[in-house]
Structure 1
Amino acid sequence: MSSEAFTRLTAPSDYAQLLEKYDTWLFDCDGVLWTGDRLIDGAKEVLGILRKHKKSVIFVTNNATKSRKNYKKKFDSLGIEAYVDEVFGSAYASAVYLSSVMKLPKDKKVYVIGQKGLEEELDEEGIAHIGGTDPADQVIGPFSLHDFEPDRSVGAVLCGLDTGINYRKLSKAFWYLTQNPDCQDCPFIVTNEDSTYPSEGGLLPGAGAISAPLRFAVGRDPIAVGKPAKTMLDCIKAKHDFDPKRTLMVGDRLNTDILFGQAGGLSTLLVLTGITRDGDITGPNASSIVPDYVTSSLGDLRVLGNP
């Protein structure tokens, strides 16, 4: 046991105890399994070891740019065994929230700030939508309400990561949230509130940075669906039966992955291959969010495959 508030895993016996203690393993993807399009060294082998020991493996990601089917393609391209029903992204959870929790009426639409993967998940749930990848919304330049013909059937605004964000999209979303006479108090939903996300070349602004201008302009907080919100865990529980006491959440972010696990009564393992650095969990400026376990990389668990 480490003298620190968490257990720092170093010895093969440390990892063996995890294998014995937990039956269900939840994994964040970006920063844990891969960075950009680069596989984290050893990640593939570790997942194989867990499956060999009959562990349940579930992938929980806040990335809303890809649908579950597209995520499956990414796993395939990296040579990682994965199945669509094991993937839970914030795009999918947002679509489920709109259809099953909010129960958006069938005659209503969602105005989307986001990319194709988000639209695909809305389509799967039978939710009509506008905006998103519509070419009319990709125009860069001035925006005037005099030229805007709003769709009065919009009943919610959903915002995810959008690498083509522009003033036109923000302006339309703002109008639907504040000025649509046919939707008073229009629901404002975000796939997640990550401030950044790890790319192969370094950190880039995340979905939370995309929705921040709207949040400031509208003057109210959105409903967040992705980690650390409980909505994501409810979505997983609806599809998989697991014992929280024998479940481990593996992630690279304290304020999303680790907080998500703690809020759901799960044990947590922090890896240092993504957002969080060692200095964030040690010393005078250490975060108040403390994981149960810490290891430098998921690849460290490869020792479990040694005879």
Structure 2
Amino acid sequence: MAARLSTREHYADLLDKYDTWLFDCDGVLWQGDRPIEGVVEVLQMLRKQNKAVIFVTNNATKSRPNYKKKFDVLGVEAHVDEIYGSAYASAVYISSVMKMPKDKKVYVIGMPGLEEELRGEGIQCVGGSDPADNVLGGFSLADWTPDPAVGAVLCGLDTNVNYTKLSKAFTYLQRPGVAFLATNEDSTYPSAEGLLPGAGAVSAPLRFALGADPLAIGKPKQVMLDCIRAKHDFDPKRTIMVGDRLNTDIEFGKAGGLATLLVLTGITKESEITGPNASSTVPDYVTSSLGDLRALF
């Protein structure tokens, strides 16, 4: 059973136990473009206590430098080397694990931030924000010549997804040897006004058409944690993952041997962690909001 945190003593004990703090962003630090109350002060307090702070997000719409801009606008201190998104992890996976040859290309269903991270790793990409792919209306194979250099299809959250992109991706994926990748499989995306379909929903038509699942790279997959470990030295026993979603954030932390803290300001609701229909994924700790740690000061 998860430990419920509510008193100053609870939060002081948490602070004493963990030196490295990993945070999801959407639903934990902010909702849309609004910071969650108290988050800025809590993060400042952690830094003053010499805690390592790392941000781990499945959102692949922004590159790390652009994420840094969002942190700046919201008044949250963050450095580019502290930010790990599934776009960056996907680029690292393709370049360092798949070791895709430099003459090969990735067909992208996703936003400019995903393309930016791929190019930063020296990976050529097509699709994505290309105006030729961002059109409405019918699509005909007779009017398009596939690029023979495409060796992978990568799906992320794409607010401009359309039949043209899906058709091109499907055509490439029917070729032998073309890898099917997804930045993450989040079913939903929390905006300030409510839930919207997530990256998993974007790749779903391709999964149905192909009868095959992509290799997912973001949380809860350990590729993300491997990327962090490559840059940051930390003791898993003194590290905690703070998130708002059981099937990504909390499972990610548990799979990596980290402690987990669930906040209820995002996806997961109280009914999912209590009662007869509670999830089998149980966090180590639960608190209403990250801002609750203000009880320490």
Q: Indicate the residue corresponding to 1:121 in structure 2.
A: 117
User: Letter of the aligned partner of 2:208 in structure 1?
Assistant: F
Q: Deviations over 1:199-240 (max 9, x none)?
A: 000000000000000011111111000000010000000000
Gaps of 5+ in 1: none
1:76 aligns with 2:72: yes
Q: CA deviation at 1:107?
A: 0.7
Q: Indicate the residue corresponding to 1:281 in structure 2.
A: 273
Separation (CA, whole Å) in 1 of partners of 2:153 and 2:130: 15
Separation (CA, whole Å) in 1 of partners of 2:243 and 2:18: 15
Q: Indicate the residue corresponding to 2:100 in structure 1.
A: 104
1:130 aligns with 2:122: no
Q: CA deviation at 1:185?
A: 3.1
1:160 aligns with 2:156: yes
Cα RMSD between the aligned structures?
Answer: 0.5
Query: Any residues of structure 2 matched to 1:146-295 within 5 Å, and which?
Result: 146-178=142-174, 180=175, 184-295=176-287
* Aligned with residue 61 of structure 1, among 57, 64, 81: 57
Contact 2:92 2:121 in 1 (8 A): yes
The total of aligned residue pairs comes to 297
Give the 3-state SS of the residue equivalent to 2:267 in structure 1. coil
Query: Any residues of structure 2 matched to 1:42-57 within 5 Å, and which?
Result: 42-57=38-53
Separation (CA, whole Å) in 1 of partners of 2:52 and 2:151: 38
Report the TM-score when normalising by structure 1.
0.96
Give the 3-state SS of the residue equivalent to 1:171 in structure 2. helix
Separation (CA, whole Å) in 2 of partners of 1:151 and 1:281: 48
Contact 2:133 2:165 in 1 (8 A): yes
Q: Deviations over 1:243-293 (max 9, x none)?
A: 000000000000000000000000000000000011000001100000000
Separation (CA, whole Å) in 2 of partners of 1:123 and 1:154: 15
Give the 3-state SS of the residue equivalent to 2:190 in structure 1. strand
Q: Deviations over 1:18-61 (max 9, x none)?
A: 00000000000000000000100000000000000000000000
1:15 aligns with 2:11: yes
User: Letter of the aligned partner of 2:258 in structure 1?
Assistant: L
Contact 2:244 2:266 in 1 (8 A): yes
* Aligned with residue 36 of structure 1, among 29, 32, 35: 32
The percentage of aligned residue pairs carrying the same residue is 74
Q: CA deviation at 1:186?
A: 1.1
Q: Deviations over 1:86-141 (max 9, x none)?
A: 00000000000000000000110000000010000011000000000000001101
Report the TM-score when normalising by structure 2.
0.99
Give the 3-state SS of the residue equivalent to 1:198 in structure 2. strand
Gaps of 5+ in 2: none
Give the 3-state SS of the residue equivalent to 2:240 in structure 1. strand
Separation (CA, whole Å) in 1 of partners of 2:282 and 2:47: 28
Separation (CA, whole Å) in 2 of partners of 1:198 and 1:13: 31
Contact 2:151 2:177 in 1 (8 A): no
User: Letter of the aligned partner of 1:216 in structure 2?
Assistant: F
Separation (CA, whole Å) in 2 of partners of 1:194 and 1:127: 24
Q: CA deviation at 1:146?
A: 0.8
User: Letter of the aligned partner of 1:30 in structure 2?
Assistant: D
Give the 3-state SS of the residue equivalent to 1:158 in structure 2. strand
User: Letter of the aligned partner of 2:209 in structure 1?
Assistant: A
Separation (CA, whole Å) in 2 of partners of 1:156 and 1:197: 25
Give the 3-state SS of the residue equivalent to 1:26 in structure 2. strand
Separation (CA, whole Å) in 1 of partners of 2:212 and 2:177: 11
Give the 3-state SS of the residue equivalent to 2:225 in structure 1. helix
User: Letter of the aligned partner of 1:243 in structure 2?
Assistant: D
1:92 aligns with 2:92: no
Separation (CA, whole Å) in 2 of partners of 1:36 and 1:126: 31
Q: CA deviation at 1:241?
A: 0.2
